[in-house]
Amino acid sequence: MLLLRKLPGMPGWPAALGLRLPQKFLFLLFLSGLLTLCFGALFLLPDSSRFKRLFLPRRAAAAAAGDPDLPRSPPAAAEPRHASPAAPRRLRDKLRAAARLGAPPAHTAASAGGSPQQVQPGAGGAEAGTDSAPAAPRQTRAPFGFDYETFRRSLRHPVLGRGGGEEPETRARRLKIREMMKFAWDNYRRYAFGKNELRPLTKNGHIGNMFGGLRGATIVDALDTLYIMELGEEFQEAKSWVEKSLDLNVNGEASLFEVNIRYVGGLLTTYYLTGEEVFKSKALELGEKLLPAFNTPTGIPRGVINLGSGMSWSWGWASAGSSILAEFGTLHLEFLHLTELSGNPVFTEKVMNIRKVLNRIEKPQGLYPNFLSPVTGNWVQHHVSIGGLGDSFYEYLIKSWLMSDKRDTEAKKMYNDALEAIEKHLVKKSAGGLTYIAEWRGGILDHKMGHLACFSGGMIALGAEQAAEEKKQHYMDLAAEITHTCHESYARSDTKLGPEAFRFDSGTEAVATRLSERYYILRPEVVESYLYMWRLTHDPKYRQWGWEVVKALEKYCRVEAGFSGIRDVYTTTPSHDNMQQSFFLAETLKYLYLLFCDDDVLSLEDWVFNTEAHPLPVNHTNLKAKASVQ
Ligand code: DMJ
């Protein structure tokens, strides 16, 4: 504008042109528009342009050109190497500090401003009228926007590791598992694409009744495994199905738990891996649809929800209309991320309220029974198990602490107290020296361990780090003993795959004694523990045990058109159950693959796996953001 002022000895330009006041104004408007346009055009120049570098700072230039450190593309694209120092702290960081993962519900002051997928204030929250739902304030909303670039820079390791330096045998084994994934995917795609699971014997699709009309469970569950294994073409197929065909406007009975861990978890992870908006928006949309399940007098959600009408009810088989510990206790990780990405506090409020109810209620002998009434908030039956019905509740306590970058001390305390009670009342040693975790029915022990309970070796190892110094080794030993027992349940079968449940009574140890418990449905829990034990101890036996599983899967579960569960692990001519479970692609193959990867591939420093093996990022940026507020 100064340039347009009259210079000494020269008439001003507009004056020189003989313009009147309104015309002068129009002329100035035109000129400033022109200047803005020229500046904007700088962003279109190639990154190498000297002209551009003269006018734009390096980071802005890189962002305009698509920074190669920030890939939005599938696995084939260059993997980001470890990030440079954190981006300059901005005002936005300060505002975001109030809504960070892992902090208490006071976060509810955060808002849904700048994100394209923002949730309208009050959305999903208005119906929350429960007796005990937290009445956290929602009125003071600061501008909010999740910054994907900042998140990527906060990671301590490249997502897919740095690579190099491994032994040829390790690489060959990893590639074999990748081939198994491709085989499982190709057959699903060929015979069941868009259905929930593949039926590999009859070569068709299965819909089932767990997902309330949602389709493509295998696609959503497999997305991140395809990405991690760098199966680029297959990932693109999965992605374009999500874009074009994943319909969330459905009716039908859905399991809140299953939809959350498989769909919400799978979509969240794929967003964090790729930065592709479609995954974020689908996750948030689906998350909103789950909220009516929390409309109960206590805020403890019911297990079943109609995603269309929002009506919810309890499972018919759950006594006295109760909700299940492992179901309502396995929402925390995903729901915190839904708040993180949307800025909408309602998701965090819902799960923090569950925690509040659990903290308030008296626990028999310090144990958490599996059935709780969502109406009265009282336990319904005193059945305690670290396997089915209880399992991932404990897992999510310790993982909440890890995901909060070790700041959620309430979760840590709840985990420690629960584990102490479990150890005191349920952990036993067999006559043959095998450590196992029994089940508890109103004070009477059932000396049985389910396959599902075998995740606990990995969990206890993962949690050992936070234990008091004198207990660390104790917990690592306990984790190793339980993992050893679970390995024995595999080693003592004829197929070298483990049964659904094994017992320690009537002279038997680590074998199924009932016909109905002899099946194996491609479950992941044992290899999950092998992976954690390997990463935390580097004892080569865990890789060896994992390889035994690979060989057994190939021999007994691989059929012409995919992988199938088997009905009896104690016969070498097993009959197949004709089902390729989606968790086989999401979990079993992913854990096996990671067992033969370097530790920096999905490093445990950066990622916490949800209970369906979908990795969710640790909130490293919180402290930075917090510091910048002070
Ligand atoms: C998976 O869906 C999850 O691991 C869940 O927590 C338990 N059951 C299956 C696999 O066995």
What is the residue-averaged pLDDT of the chain? 83
pLDDT one-digit tens code per residue, 213-232: 999 999 999 999 999 999 99
Catalytic residue among 327, 500, 509, 525: 500
Nearest CA to ligand 1 atom 3: 612
What are the residues whose beta carbons fall under 8 Å from the beta carbon of 85, sequence distance 6 or more? none
The pLDDT tens digits of the residues spanning 402-444 come to 999 999 999 999 999 999 999 999 999 999 999 999 999 988 9
Does 306 contact ligand 1 (Cβ within 6 A)? Answer: no
Residue to substitute in 330, 386, 454, 523 for testing ligand 1 pocket (most ligand atoms within 8 angstroms of CB): 523
Residue 323 pLDDT greater than 50, yes or no: yes
Q: What is the pLDDT of residue 32?
A: 64
243 belongs to the catalytic site: no
365: left (phi over 0), alpha (psi -120 to 50) or beta: left
Ligand 1 atom closest to the Cα of residue 262 is: 2
**Cα separation, 347 vs 205, whole angstroms:** 33
Torsion over CA of 150, 153, 158 and 159, rounded to 10 degrees?
A: -10
CA-nearest residue for atom 6, ligand 1, is 611
Report which of 448, 430, 435 is spatially closest to residue 482, judged by C-alpha positions.
Answer: 435
pLDDT, position 267: 99
Atom of ligand 1 nearest to the CA of 326: 6
Query: Residue 525 has which token pair?
Result: 């829990």
Ligand 1 pocket, residue 588 CB under 6 Å: no
At 165, the pLDDT band (50, 70, 90 cuts) reads: confident
How far does the centroid of ligand 1 lie from the alpha carbon of residue 262, in Å? Answer: 9
pLDDT of residue 514: 97
**Ligand 1 atom nearest 388 alpha carbon:** 7
Region 270-296 average pLDDT: 98
Percent of the chain scored above 70 by pLDDT? Answer: 76
- pLDDT of res. 506: 83
Place of tokens 């190939």: 554
DSSP 465-508: TTS-HHHHHHHHHHHHHHHHHHHHHHHTSSSS---SEEE--TT-
pLDDT of residue 145: 77
Q: What per-residue confidence (pLDDT) applies to 19?
A: 53
User: What's the DSSP call for residue 89?
Assistant: P
SS3 state at 199: strand
Residues written for the chain: 630
Is residue 395 lining ligand 1, measured as CB closer than 6 Å?
Answer: no
Q: How far does the centroid of ligand 1 lie from the alpha carbon of residue 407, in Å?
A: 27
Which atom of ligand 1 lies closest to the CA of 330?
A: 6
Distance 211 CA to ligand 1 centre (A): 14
Question: Which of ligand 1's atoms lies nearest the C-alpha of 455?
Answer: 4
Two tokens at 299? 């805020």
Instruction: Tell me the per-residue pLDDT of 3-58, one tens digit each, with 9 for 90 and over.
Output: 333 333 333 444 444 556 566 666 666 666 666 554 544 444 443 343 333 333 33
Question: Could you read off the pLDDT of 379-393 as tens digits, one per residue?
Answer: 999 999 999 999 999
CA distance to 131, 255, 414, 606, per residue, from 359 (Å):
16, 25, 8, 29
Task: Work out the average pLDDT over 471-481.
Answer: 98
pLDDT level of residue 465 (50, 70, 90 thresholds): confident
Q: How far is the CA of 28 from the centre of ligand 1 (A)?
A: 66
Is the beta carbon of 134 within 6 A of some atom in ligand 1? no
Q: How far is the CA of 148 from the centre of ligand 1 (A)?
A: 29
Atom of ligand 1 nearest to the CA of 613: 4
Quote the pLDDT of residue 360: 96
| Residue carrying the six token digits 């067992």 | 595
Judge residue 445's burial from the number of C-beta atoms within 10 Å of its C-beta, 0-12 exposed, 13-18 middle, 19 or more buried.
middle
Q: Is 582 in the pocket of ligand 1 (CB under 6 A)?
A: no
Cα–ligand 1 centroid distance for 499 (angstroms): 15
Q: Is the pLDDT of residue 476 over 90?
A: yes
Q: Tens digit of pLDDT for each residue in 510-557?
A: 999 999 999 999 999 999 999 999 999 999 999 999 999 999 999 999
Distance from the CA of 387 to the center of ligand 1, in angstroms?
10
Packed helices 277-290 and 232-245: angle between N→C axes, nearest 10 degrees: 50
- Phi, psi for 521 (deg, rounded to 5): -110, 40
Question: CA-to-CA distance for 607 and 594, rounded, in angstroms?
Answer: 13
Task: State the Cα–Cα distance between residues 102 and 409, nearest whole angstrom.
Answer: 10
DSSP string, 357-421: HHHHS--GGG---SEE-TTT--EEE-EE-SSTTTHHHHHHHHHHHHHTTS--HHHHHHHHHHHHH
537 CA from centroid of ligand 1 (Å)? 25
Pick from 392, 519, 527, 585 the residue to mutate for probing ligand 1's pocket: most ligand atoms within 8 Å of its CB: 392
- The closest residue, in CA terms, to atom 10 on ligand 1 is 523
- Closest protein CA for atom 8 of ligand 1: 452
Which residue is it, tokens 């001003």?
Answer: 12
The neighbouring-strand residues paired with 255 are 304
**What is the number of the ligand 1 atom nearest to the C-alpha of 525?**
11
Q: How far is CA 309 from the centre of its chain?
A: 26
Rounded Cα distance between 459 and 231, Å, is: 29
Is the distance from the beta carbon of residue 383 to the nearest atom of ligand 1 less than 6 Å?
no
What pLDDT sits at residue 79?
Answer: 30
Tokens 């204030």 sit on residue: 121
Element (H, E) at 528: helix 525-537
Q: H/E element holding 435?
A: strand 435-437
Rounded distance, CA 105 to CA 115, Å?
21
**Residue 626's pLDDT band (cuts 50, 70, 90):** very low
As a whole number of angstroms, the distance between CA 496 and CA 23 comes to 88
Element containing residue 23 per DSSP (H, E): helix 21-41
610 within ligand 1 shell (Cβ under 6 A): no
| pLDDT for 398 | 98
Whether pLDDT at 570 is above 60: yes
Left (φ > 0), alpha (ψ -120 to 50) or beta: where does 332 sit?
alpha
583 pocket-lining for ligand 1 (C-beta < 6 Å): yes
Q: What is the pLDDT of residues 335-371, one digit of tens each?
A: 999 999 999 999 999 999 999 999 999 999 999 999 9
Q: Would you say residue 88 has pLDDT above 90?
A: no
The neighbouring-strand residues paired with 449 are: 502
Distance CA 299, CA 9 (A): 79
Of 247, 256, 219, 251, residue with least CA distance to 235: 219
Query: What residues have CB less than 8 Å from 456, skipping those under 6 apart?
Result: 386, 391, 394, 437, 479, 482, 529
| Collapsed DSSP state (helix, strand, coil) of residue 27 | helix
pLDDT at 164: 82
- The best mutation among 452, 456, 532, 582 to test binding of ligand 1, ranked by most ligand atoms within 8 Å of the C-beta, falls on 452
pLDDT for residue 215: 98
Residue 82 pLDDT greater than 90, yes or no: no
Q: Is the CB of 523 under 6 A from ligand 1?
A: yes
**pLDDT: is 621 or 359 the higher one?**
359
Atom of ligand 1 nearest to the CA of 395: 6
Region of 562 (left: φ > 0; alpha: ψ -120 to 50; beta: rest) is: left
Q: State the pLDDT confidence band at 143, using cuts at 50, 70 and 90.
A: low
**Of 435, 441, 431, 410, nearest to 423 (Cα)?**
435
Q: For residue 138, is pLDDT > 60?
A: no
Pocket of ligand 1 contains residue 337 by CB under 6 Å: no
Determine whether the shortest distance from the Cβ of 253 to ligand 1 is under 6 A: no
Q: How far does residue 515's CA lie from ligand 1's centre (Å)?
A: 22
Q: Is 392 in the pocket of ligand 1 (CB under 6 A)?
A: yes
Q: For residue 319, name the pLDDT band (cuts at 50, 70, 90).
A: confident
Helix (H, G, I), strand (E, B) or coil at 317: coil
pLDDT at position 204, please? 98
Paired tokens of 191: 């015979």
